[in-house]
Amino acid sequence: MNFENMFIMQGMLFALMLIGLLLKRTGLITDGNRGLLSGLVVNVTLPCSIIKSFEMEFDMEILRSCLAILLVALAIQVGAYILSLVLYPGLEPRHKKVLQYATICSNAGILGNPIAEGIYGALGLLYASIYLIPQRIFMWSLGLTYFTECPDKKTLAKRVATHPCIIAAVVGLILMISQRKLPPVVNDTVLSLANANTAVSMLFIGSVLAGVPFKSLWNKLTVYYGVIRLFFIPFLVWAGCSLFHLDPTVLGVSVVLAGMPAASTTAILADRYDCDAVFSAKCVVSTTLLSMITVPLWCLFLG
């Protein structure tokens, strides 16, 4: 079992966060211009990344062979949405919104593909790509409603539907199903911006954490969320897949990706929509640190 890809990805994320922290402490990133980073991610680099993430070969044969993982991933997202509604009673809204979003959205989009490929080979990479489709749809539809407040449902639906990330997800789905390609100039432009998304996102998170003591990453709420994100959800996935005697590779990919840490977009959206950016960054960093232990443990448990 090869964990090299996972540790390389984790190390890269922390290196980028450290650079963001240093940029904040040296004054290149300030409280006044930090919002430009979150705006750049939400409106430019992230939509481009979403479009490119749907770029895969897609035909009926692949659909049939991946139907199981697609149904499992859809069930996981529905289950995670239900959990997000019941697991955080009594919390103040700014923390509850962050935890609800982070429950349905993991960092499987960044870490999942290389880890699945490193452990399960080409078939694992294919399954991971299919697994991520329902999550991307949920995180840019229901996920946005946690942060977007409007006076009525019609206004909320309009605001969500016109969000750059929703538009990008629709474009990506259309391109994937139709198997059409963007014009070369547009494609290269979108690819260049998409490649910058992870770097800008992690620089932002690092800048948020500047001045936050390392010990403060761990409190009752972040530990509680970490248990849910890294243990409880993948355990439920393992139990459900085992109950239905699914293919071992389908089960393994589903459990490993369900046990990924909080999505980096959690902190970006929290800052963009005036939630607690520091708390959300703590959730991202603390679960990413813990995942360096829990993901290998899940892999060993799965055999």
Q: What is the CATH number of the domain that holds 82?
A: 1.20.1530.20
**pLDDT confidence band for 60 (50 / 70 / 90):** low
| CA separation for the pair 247, 217 (Å, rounded) | 38
% the chain with pLDDT above 90: 24
Tell me which H or E stretch contains 8: helix 4-25
Q: What is the mean pLDDT of the chain?
A: 83
pLDDT at residue 226 in the model: 94
Nearest to 2 by CA among 107, 110, 124, 129: 124
pLDDT at position 129 over 70: yes
Query: Which carries the bigger pLDDT value, residue 229 or residue 4?
Result: 229
pLDDT for the residue numbered 3: 65
Number of compact structural domains in the chain:
1
Cα gap 143→222, rounded to integer Å: 19
pLDDT at 123 over 60: yes
Across residues 46-67, what is the average pLDDT?
72
Q: pLDDT band at 171, cuts 50/70/90? A: confident
Instruction: Look at residue 106 and give its three-state secondary structure.
Output: strand
CB 150 within 8 A of CB 283: no
| Segments in 140-196 forming alpha helices (H) | 142-145, 153-161, 164-178, 184-195
The pTM of the full predicted model, rounded to 2 decimals, is 0.77
Domain that holds residue 179: 4-302
- How many Cβ atoms are within 10 Å of 35's Cβ, its own excluded? 13
Highest mean pLDDT among 50-54, 55-59, 66-70, 251-255: 251-255
Q: Which are the contacts of 172, defined by CB distance < 8 A and separation ≥ 6?
A: 50, 51, 52, 53, 54, 55, 136
Amino acid at 150: C
Query: What number is the average pLDDT over the span 118-136?
Result: 78
